Structure 1
Amino acid sequence: MAAHPSSASAASYALTRGRPVRRAATVLALMVSATLMTSCFGGTAETGVQSGVPATSDLPDAAVQVMEKPEYVNAAWHISVSDLETGSTLIDLAGDVMAEPASFTKSYSVGAAWLRWGPDHTVTTPVKRTGEVTGGVLAGDLVLVGKGDLTLGGRTKADGTVDFANFDHNDANPVPGATLTPEDPLTGLDDLAAQVRASGITSVTGGVTVDDRLFQGQLAGEPITPIIVNQNILDVLITPGQPGAPATVELTPAVAPWQIVSNVTTVAAGADAKVDDPVAGAPGQIVVNGSVAAGSEPQLKTFLLRDPSTFARTAFIEALGRAGVSVAADPLAINDSSTLPAATTVDALPEVAQLVSLPLSEEATYVMKISYNRGAQTLICLLAVDAGKKDCEDGLGVAGQLWADAGLDSDGASLVDGSGLAGNYITAANGVELQRVMAARSDADQWKSTMPILGVDGSLASVQADSPAADKVFAKTGTLVGGDLMNGRTRLNTKALGGVMEAESGRRLAFVIIVNQGFVDGIQGVLAANDDVGAVAAAIQQAY
Structure 2
Amino acid sequence: MNQPRYDNAQWLISVTDLDSGEVLIDLNGSQMAEPASFTKTYSVGAAWLKWGPEHVITTPVKRTAEVDGATLNGDLVLVGMGDFTFGGRTKPDGTVDFTDLDHNDANPLPGATLTTEDPLTALNDLAAQVKASGIDAVTGTVVVDDRLFQGTLAGEPITPIVVNQNLIDVLVTPGAAGEPATIEMTPAVAPWHIVGTVATVAPGGDTEIADPDSTGDGAITISGTIAADSEPVLKVFALEDPASFARTAFIEALVRAGVSVGGDPVAVNSTTALPAQDQVEELPTVAEFDSLPLAQQATYVMKISYNRGAQTYVCLLSAEAGVADCSAGLAEVGKLWAEAGLDTTGISLVDGSGLNGNYVTPANGVAAQAIMAARPDADQWRATMPILGVDGSLAMVQTDSPAAGKVFAKTGTLVGGDAVNDRYRLNTKALGGVMESESGRNLAFTIIMNQGFADEIDGVFAANDDVGAVAAAIQQEF
User: Quick one: distance in 2 between partners of 1:468 and 1:403?
Assistant: 34
Looking at CA atoms only, which structure, 1 or 2, has the larger radius of gyration?
A: 1
Q: Which of the numbers 16, 20, 24 marks the counterpart of 1:82?
A: 16
State the AA in 2 paired with 1:412.
G
The answer as to whether partners of 1:113 and 1:383 remain within 8 angstroms in 2 is yes
State the AA in 2 paired with 1:484.
D
Mapping for residues 69-218 of structure 1, pairs under 5 Å: 69-218=3-152
SS at match of 2:13: strand
The answer as to whether partners of 1:128 and 1:144 remain within 8 angstroms in 2 is yes
Q: RCO higher in 1 or 2 (8 Å CA, sep ≥ 6)?
A: 2
Q: Deviations over 1:474-507 (max 9, x none)?
A: 0000100101112221111001000000000000
Shift of 1:267: 1.1
Shift of 1:82: 0.5
Q: Which of the numbers 415, 429, 433 marks the counterpart of 2:367?
A: 433
User: Quick one: distance in 1 between partners of 2:290 and 2:125?
Assistant: 11
User: Quick one: distance in 1 between partners of 2:281 and 2:76?
Assistant: 13
Shift of 1:281: 1.9
User: Quick one: distance in 1 between partners of 2:409 and 2:218?
Assistant: 40
Residue 467 of structure 2 is matched in structure 1 by: 533
User: Quick one: distance in 1 between partners of 2:456 and 2:44?
Assistant: 30
State the AA in 1 paired with 2:39.
T
User: Quick one: distance in 2 between partners of 1:339 and 1:235?
Assistant: 32
The answer as to whether partners of 1:224 and 1:374 remain within 8 angstroms in 2 is yes
SS at match of 1:237: strand
User: Quick one: distance in 2 between partners of 1:374 and 1:419?
Assistant: 7
User: Quick one: distance in 1 between partners of 2:423 and 2:212?
Assistant: 25
User: Quick one: distance in 1 between partners of 2:3 and 2:26?
Assistant: 20
Q: Deviations over 1:116-160 (max 9, x none)?
A: 000000110000001111121100100000000011111000000
Does 2:403 match 1:469?
A: yes
Shift of 1:102: 0.3
Q: Which of the numbers 460, 479, 493 marks the counterpart of 2:413?
A: 479
User: Quick one: distance in 2 between partners of 1:78 and 1:348?
Assistant: 52
How many pairs align?
478
Unaligned stretches of 5+ in structure 1?
1-66
Residue 326 of structure 2 is matched in structure 1 by: 392
TM-score, structure 1 as length reference: 0.87
Shift of 1:272: 2.2
SS at match of 1:376: helix
Shift of 1:522: 4.5
Shift of 1:328: 1.4
Q: Which of the numbers 259, 273, 277 marks the counterpart of 2:193?
A: 259
Q: What is the RMSD of the two structures over their aligned residues, measured on CA atoms? A: 0.8
User: Quick one: distance in 1 between partners of 2:400 and 2:272?
Assistant: 56
The answer as to whether partners of 1:96 and 1:427 remain within 8 angstroms in 2 is yes
Mapping for residues 340-355 of structure 1, pairs under 5 Å: 340-355=274-289
State the AA in 2 paired with 1:170.
N
Shift of 1:282: 3.2
The answer as to whether partners of 1:274 and 1:292 remain within 8 angstroms in 2 is yes
State the AA in 2 paired with 1:495.
K
SS at match of 2:203: coil
SS at match of 1:392: coil
Residue 39 of structure 1 is matched in structure 2 by: none
Q: Deviations over 1:350-400 (max 9, x none)?
A: 000000110000000000000000000000110111122212121100010
**Displacement over 6 Å in runs of 4+:** none
TM-score, structure 2 as length reference: 0.99
Residue 388 of structure 2 is matched in structure 1 by: 454
The answer as to whether partners of 1:393 and 1:417 remain within 8 angstroms in 2 is no
Residue 57 of structure 1 is matched in structure 2 by: none
Shift of 1:201: 0.2
Does 2:320 match 1:357?
A: no
Residue 419 of structure 1 is matched in structure 2 by: 353
The answer as to whether partners of 1:249 and 1:262 remain within 8 angstroms in 2 is no
User: Quick one: distance in 1 between partners of 2:272 and 2:90?
Assistant: 32
State, as a whole percentage, how many aligned pairs show the same letter.
70
